[in-house]
């Protein structure tokens, strides 16, 4: 019986606690500075891929879900022959 | 004569409108308070402080398909939700909100309330039975057992108050608390009545008839649209009613300094409603055998003890 009253009192005291809800659109959660969000392959204004096939993303990816193959075009510019993201493995 | 009729009409419709809008407002209040006690916000998007949530919910519930299952006993199925609203709304007629402001000044006020609350038990039991669904039936059976057994000592717990005031009339009972509110000499009665009241409105921790984690939604599993809405409003009306009665019987009704009587009455009632919500925020549901054992082995003896002690003291002091 006493424990019931203690429970009620304990819940009542929660009135004075801070709420944990984040009011999302107005209030943003903290993002670490290096947070990049969902993985995308960005394009230049003409619609071509901006990737120079440096493999950095592939190396960084903790679950190794990015696969690409580098080649060069006739001007010596590097570009990926293929660029694959395994979304079934991606942890974002 | 005409003035008297108009006054009465104003009281009748005033009580009805205030009771129904309080019940509607409680939907919002309960969710906000639950949020507050669970460290979150509750509905706060629709309108200022989320107040228009009630309106949005109402539009939604009216727009829903009002479906009667083909296997249900159609007549009883439709009547059951109406019964709960009628029985609770009828009980509001006897409550004195301020001196001389009650729909009827019944000399058997307390008895009338007890009768009406028994009547309300029909609604839930019939709804469970008419749905022809095993979960509904279980909910209805539980509700019937729970409400009938908790009614026994709900009545008994009020007898102490009646003995002290010497009347079943609620206005007289309030007047009798001019010197000392009954919550002090009748503390046992208050404790028993409060718990019986929670059981009678089928609220947590006595919400076994609904018990959504085991019985889908209990007796109103098969109800949709506004028929479901009526059970919902009936529940909130019930909370308001029990709080108003507790105010009247134990906390001096409209009595209080400075502020006008109606304000005191509303404040006390609102506070008690918040206690109802606090109970919901903090307590888990009882098991069915615990509920019955608690009722018959703890609450009933307590109510009888209160009755005997009050009677003894009243006789001793003449």
Task: Decide if A20 and B36 are in contact by the 8 Å CB cutoff.
Answer: no
Select the more confidently predicted residue: A40 or A53.
A53
Chain B, residues 263-282, CB within 8 A of chain A, namely 278-279, 281-282
Task: Decide if A11 and B36 are in contact by the 8 Å CB cutoff.
Answer: no
**Interface membership of A75 toward B (CB under 8 Å):** no
* Mean pLDDT over each residue of chain B, to the nearest integer: 85
**Interface membership of B37 toward A (CB under 8 Å):** yes
Region B226-249: mean pLDDT is 88
Task: Decide if B37 and A4 are in contact by the 8 Å CB cutoff.
Answer: no
| pLDDT tens digits for range B81-109 | 888 888 888 888 888 887 877 778 888 88
Q: Is the dihedral of CA B248, B250, B255, B257 positive or negative?
A: negative
Q: What angle do CA B217, B218, B220 make, to 5 degrees?
A: 75
Alpha carbons B245 and B190: distance in angstroms, whole number: 11
The residue extents of the domains of chain A are 2-85
Split at pLDDT 50, 70, 90, the class of B228 is confident
Structure-token match 């950095």, residue found? A56
Q: Residue B124 phi/psi, 5° resolution?
A: -70, -45
Enumerate the residues of chain B whose CB falls inside 8 A of the CB of residue A18.
39
DSSP E strands in B109-189: the ranges are: none
8 Å CB contact between B291 and A20? no
Residues shown for chain A: 92
Q: Is the dihedral of CA B106, B171, B241, B279 positive or negative?
A: negative
From the list A11, A20, A23, the residue facing B37 with the nearest CB is A11
From the list A7, A17, A18, the residue facing B283 with the nearest CB is A7
**Interface membership of B65 toward A (CB under 8 Å):** no
Task: Decide if A19 and B39 are in contact by the 8 Å CB cutoff.
Answer: yes
pLDDT of residue B242 exceeding 80: yes
Alpha carbons B135 and B194: distance in angstroms, whole number: 28
Alpha carbons B104 and B208: distance in angstroms, whole number: 34
| pLDDT tens digits for range A61-87 | 889 888 888 888 888 888 888 888 888
Split at pLDDT 50, 70, 90, the class of B214 is confident
Alpha carbons A86 and B88: distance in angstroms, whole number: 61
By C-alpha distance, which of B190, B149, B201, B11 is closest to B92?
B11
Task: Decide if A8 and B279 are in contact by the 8 Å CB cutoff.
Answer: yes
8 Å CB contact between B189 and B157? yes
Buried b (16+ CB within 10 A) or exposed e, B287-300: ebeebbebbeeebb
pLDDT of residue A18 exceeding 80: yes
Interface predicted TM-score of the whole assembly (ipTM), two decimals: 0.75
Residues shown for chain B: 318
Split at pLDDT 50, 70, 90, the class of A53 is confident
């Amino acid at each position: 019986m006493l424990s019931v009253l203690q429970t009620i009192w304990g819940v009542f005291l929660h009135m004075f606690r801070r709420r944990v809800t984040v009011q999302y659109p107005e209030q943003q959660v903290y993002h670490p500075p290096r947070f990049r969000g969902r993985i995308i392959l960005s394009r230049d204004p003409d619609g071509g891929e901006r990737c120079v096939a440096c493999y950095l993303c592939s190396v960084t990816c903790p679950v190794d879900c990015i696969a690409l193959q580098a080649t060069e075009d006739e001007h010596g510019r590097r570009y990926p022959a293929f660029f694959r993201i395994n979304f079934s493995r991606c942890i974002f | 004569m005409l003035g008297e009729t108009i006054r009465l009409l104003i009281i009748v419709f005033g009580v009805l409108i205030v009771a129904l809008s309080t019940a509607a407002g409680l939907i919002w209040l309960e969710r906000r308070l639950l949020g507050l006690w669970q460290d979150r916000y509750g509905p706060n998007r629709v309108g200022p402080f989320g107040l228009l949530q009630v309106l949005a919910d109402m539009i939604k519930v009216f727009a829903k398909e009002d479906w009667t299952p083909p296997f249900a006993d159609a007549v009883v199925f439709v009547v059951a939700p109406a019964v709960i609203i009628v029985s609770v709304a009828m009980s509001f007629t006897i409550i004195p909100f301020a001196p001389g402001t009650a729909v009827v000044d019944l000399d058997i006020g307390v008895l009338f309330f007890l009768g009406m609350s028994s009547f309300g038990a029909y609604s839930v039991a019939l709804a469970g039975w008419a749905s022809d669904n095993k979960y509904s039936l279980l909910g209805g059976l539980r509700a019937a057992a729970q409400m009938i057994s908790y009614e026994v000592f709900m009545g008994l717990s009020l007898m102490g108050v009646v003995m002290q005031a010497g009347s079943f009339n609620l206005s007289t009972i309030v007047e009798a608390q001019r010197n000392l509110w009954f919550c002090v000499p009748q503390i046992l009665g208050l404790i028993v009545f409060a718990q019986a009241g929670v059981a009678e409105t089928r609220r947590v921790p006595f919400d076994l008839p609904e018990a959504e984690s085991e019985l889908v939604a209990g007796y109103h599993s098969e109800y949709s649209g506004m028929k479901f809405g009526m059970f919902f409003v009936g529940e909130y009306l019930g909370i308001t009613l029990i709080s108003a009665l507790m105010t009247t019987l134990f906390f001096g009704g409209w009595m209080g300094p400075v502020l006008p009587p109606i304000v005191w009455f509303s404040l006390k009632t609102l506070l008690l409603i918040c206690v109802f919500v606090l109970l919901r925020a903090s307590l888990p549901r009882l098991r069915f055998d615990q509920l019955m054992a608690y009722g018959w082995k703890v609450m009933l003896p307590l109510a009888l003890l209160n009755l005997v002690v009050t009677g003894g003291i009243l006789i001793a002091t003449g």
